[in-house]
Amino acid sequence: MKIVVSHERTDFDAFASMFAVTKVFPGTHIVLWGTVNPNVRHFLSLHGTFFPFLTEKDVDWNAVETIYVVDTVYLERLSKAGHLIRENRVDYFVFDHHPVEE
């Protein structure tokens, strides 16, 4: 299973990036976790059928082989997905436009 994740309180920047990953890498599932920014939540309530997504509890974490990370490089912001990455149990790729603080 391939998934794409982002930080908690998913904003439009993160959600649009996740959607783009599903187009570039077909078969990838958007996974939202924790809270979602209110404007994204409202958007999904209106148009969610066009943008299918899973929640963390919907994912069979033992079946995840690849994780795409968008809008953050900080694994501690990724909940269960970050845990799998830190344990080297999956392949992962990061797409982020924020500069890394040194």
Q: Say if 53 falls within a structural domain.
A: yes
- For 49, the domain range is 1-64+89-102
Q: Say if 75 falls within a structural domain.
A: no
48 compared with 29, residue with greater pLDDT: 29
101 — pLDDT class (breaks 50, 70, 90):
low
CB of 8 within 8 A of CB of 77?
yes
H or E stretch covering 30: strand 28-32
Can you give the pLDDT at residue 102? 53
Nearest to 6 by CA among 36, 26, 45, 50: 36
Can you give the pLDDT at residue 75? 87
Q: Say if 83 falls within a structural domain.
A: no
SS3 (DSSP) at 99: coil
Answer yes or no: is pLDDT of 19 > 90.
yes
pTM summary value: 0.92
Q: Say if 36 falls within a structural domain.
A: yes
